[in-house]
Structure 1
């Protein structure tokens, strides 16, 4: 692998995200559990973990429509740094637990999430070409998701008893706040992508170079560029291809909710699984992270094969692995596990801690199957519209996540698993159709025609 500037940019992006999300994903994994312990110590505190996460993803979904406009004025690097500051604020707010502050910080984080993920999508695309997009997406996902087992390994050793003490909670919050700050400092070193080599520009003049050739009076003003970015995002969303692809996006949001905020706390609430059930919350996060990293690394290594055999075989593997995970979770945990400590058991009595960890690993691996291929195919399909395309991906994903966190407080575990199975089937079929039509159009269109442009401008496949 040739060590070049673009690849260095991808590595800095990956490691910076890993540090920031070591803090946030660990917090998301333990939020429901630690907020319950805070409520026990302070009866005046009524903050709910699922409500907080629902606010995050609801605001995230709304702001995804505005993120391309912000990036059109500032660029992806500034958007990423702005988003990181919102993450630091959210994590730091747990040091002073207050119900109103929790929900305000959740809303602020939703704004930051829209900026950081849309900026990430454009920056990753700018530093990739048609041959390296799958590789870079896989490498990013593997490094990024290593945050799951780094942070949760720390939590596993910290949360050792049946209750979580205030001093222990605060130590965890301080460590996570510092980690997110270090990650932000690393992302501040991101450099501009090399011109003429970005995805979709390798055979012609880059958009940056084209801009340089435009006389100063004719260049678009920032507010005009922001308006055009918003308009293009709406236009792109209502193309047939994007509407179909949205079914896959929605599934990634539903399973994100389950893996990051529901499943691990459900293990911790199941008393019959063992007296150290709370420590299994962290261990479950570690296993999810292992699955994510193995999947991302594997598909990064095999990225050269996806161009030949397609991306849909990897998504089908994810479908099979997630089906296995959902079935084992259905059998192993009781229906009321997502809500609070329970003495009930599932169909397996007593519930198996080992099987629960296998389910966590399968959740992570299957999630990597879906997400790496979505990132790769999005970057190829919408190389010239990466900011709105990734913003729409995150919009659909976050809408599904917000709705999922809302119903997670009311629907039992078994009902949630049924919803996941239905969404997974629809998302898998949609992905296969999108890629099939893209590959078919690539074989029939002339090399000069970008299939993504055909889709955006005419709404036709």
Structure 2
């Protein structure tokens, strides 16, 4: 197999591994959101404050994640981090409050190492011409996890008010096994032979950097001009990650005007978010291949999100994020419509894919030689904003949360434009110097 073929194979394996792991992990969370009666302590276990803890640990752990990846290597880093995800899921077989919070801290640390290692593998197996394709391919494969997990929730447990102990244990045992399969897939990622040229045209391509001071490099990169410009769009992705993954599904489930099956719509909402993510990853990542540049894709993502936010503002009750378990009877500025609500789910996923595929592509392109520290900075910024967003998600009413997204999205898009213009200018200068 050619080096290019081996690199593409590594990206596909990486995507499938993440797809299986996050099919299990995200289904685990969606089960609780849709059915709070699955177990009596779930209300205390999975909630916005607990998610804030996970993302807070995730954010802090990004300070040491590059060094872990440099010392252990990305394959073992992803494998052992994946085991922490599997342990978190297995905890739900017989949940206890103490074990949940312990697992939450561990999975926060594991997430930092996992995603830093993923960025390292993505950058090493890409060139300037293939980074857009590879980012989109990985993103689309990984986002299939939203499709499978939410489809299961919608079809299997639709209309159920109570889930038996046996059914609960069977589901979480199955999810644990699926997660473990995803972990072991990482061992299929192959290193390049020293005699082979790598996709990035270097003579040798280890799957990790040799330096053990990558955490120091991450601190230095965080104050570079390019990373400071990219920090605003990264912040936006952290805020809207919290919104589409936690807040919006809860709002749909709280709308009693959607009928008795409102909570069953949470699974369908997540499924359509996944469809939007997959479509965006394919069209704007795999097929686009940066021919039009990154700015038009990011601008399209902002416009798509603005349309979604406006429709949500009109369709969903303002108190939906704070509604009690029985839901809210209020309405916004139009008669609540299930079709509009689910269409907004699709738009949220599609817009999110526009931002994330281009950010992944940009960072892997700019920091190919320091990919682990660069992606650690990326996930540090994103996760700390997600933690902040989860902390206010059940405090602020929906219109204020939407306004915050509108403002940060606009600022983040402008900042991304400036970073991309800088990349284009450097390319032109390089081409001129080579004449």
Q: Does 1:187 align with 2:186?
A: yes
User: Counterpart in 1 of 2:320?
Assistant: 337
**Structure 1 Cα separation of the partners of residues 107 and 433 of structure 2:** 41
Shift of 1:446: 6.0
Shift of 1:337: 1.4
User: Counterpart in 1 of 2:310?
Assistant: 327
Q: Please state whether the residue corresponding to 1:396 is helix, strand or coil.
A: helix
Residue number among 272, 276, 294 corresponding to 1:311 in the alignment:
294
Tell whether the 8 Å contact from 1:60 to 1:113 is kept in structure 2 after alignment: yes
User: What CA deviation, in whole Å up to 9, does each residue of 1:391-413 have, x standing for no partner?
Assistant: 10000000000000111121122
**Structure 1 Cα separation of the partners of residues 173 and 417 of structure 2:** 44
Shift of 1:208: 5.0
Q: Does 1:356 align with 2:341?
A: yes
Change (3 A) 1:194 1:116: farther
Shift of 1:194: 5.4
User: Counterpart in 1 of 2:237?
Assistant: 252
Shift of 1:426: 1.2
Tell whether the 8 Å contact from 1:29 to 1:260 is kept in structure 2 after alignment: no
Tell whether the 8 Å contact from 2:193 to 2:204 is kept in structure 1 after alignment: no
User: Counterpart in 2 of 1:453?
Assistant: none
User: Counterpart in 1 of 2:377?
Assistant: 392
Shift of 1:27: 2.7
User: Counterpart in 2 of 1:87?
Assistant: 85
User: Counterpart in 1 of 2:264?
Assistant: 279
User: Counterpart in 1 of 2:153?
Assistant: 155
**Structure 2 Cα separation of the partners of residues 404 and 194 of structure 1:** 44
Shift of 1:131: 1.1
Change (3 A) 1:358 1:396: same
TM-score, normalization by structure 1? 0.87
TM-score, normalization by structure 2? 0.92
Shift of 1:302: 2.5
**Structure 2 Cα separation of the partners of residues 408 and 197 of structure 1:** 49
User: What CA deviation, in whole Å up to 9, does each residue of 1:145-168 have, x standing for no partner?
Assistant: 011011110010122226232434
**Structure 1 Cα separation of the partners of residues 391 and 275 of structure 2:** 28
User: What CA deviation, in whole Å up to 9, does each residue of 1:298-350 have, x standing for no partner?
Assistant: 1234233x1x4211100001001000111111111112212333232332554
Number of residue pairs matched? Answer: 427
Structure 1: segments with no counterpart, 5+ residues:
212-219, 450-461
**Structure 1 Cα separation of the partners of residues 225 and 277 of structure 2:** 31
**Structure 1 Cα separation of the partners of residues 337 and 172 of structure 2:** 30
Change (3 A) 1:447 1:128: farther
User: Counterpart in 1 of 2:253?
Assistant: 268
Shift of 1:430: 1.0
Shift of 1:206: 3.9
**Structure 2 Cα separation of the partners of residues 194 and 348 of structure 1:** 62
The 5 Å alignment of 1:111-122 reads 111-122=109-120
Shift of 1:33: 4.1
Shift of 1:198: 4.5
Q: Please state whether the residue corresponding to 1:164 is helix, strand or coil.
A: coil
The 5 Å alignment of 1:24-423 reads 24-34=25-35, 36-38=36-38, 41=40, 46-161=44-159, 163-167=161-165, 168-193=167-192, 197-198=197-198, 201-202=200-201, 204-206=202-204, 208=206, 225-226=211-212, 228-304=213-289, 306=290, 308-339=291-322, 340=324, 341-348=326-333, 350-423=335-408
Tell whether the 8 Å contact from 2:319 to 2:328 is kept in structure 1 after alignment: no
Tell whether the 8 Å contact from 1:270 to 1:334 is kept in structure 2 after alignment: yes
Q: Please state whether the residue corresponding to 1:345 is helix, strand or coil.
A: coil
Change (3 A) 1:28 1:421: farther
Change (3 A) 1:193 1:49: farther
Shift of 1:171: 3.6
**Structure 1 Cα separation of the partners of residues 334 and 217 of structure 2:** 54
Shift of 1:436: 0.5
**Structure 2 Cα separation of the partners of residues 28 and 447 of structure 1:** 52
**Structure 1 Cα separation of the partners of residues 118 and 192 of structure 2:** 12
User: Counterpart in 1 of 2:15?
Assistant: 14
Change (3 A) 1:447 1:62: farther
Tell whether the 8 Å contact from 2:253 to 2:327 is kept in structure 1 after alignment: no
**Structure 2 Cα separation of the partners of residues 173 and 447 of structure 1:** 58
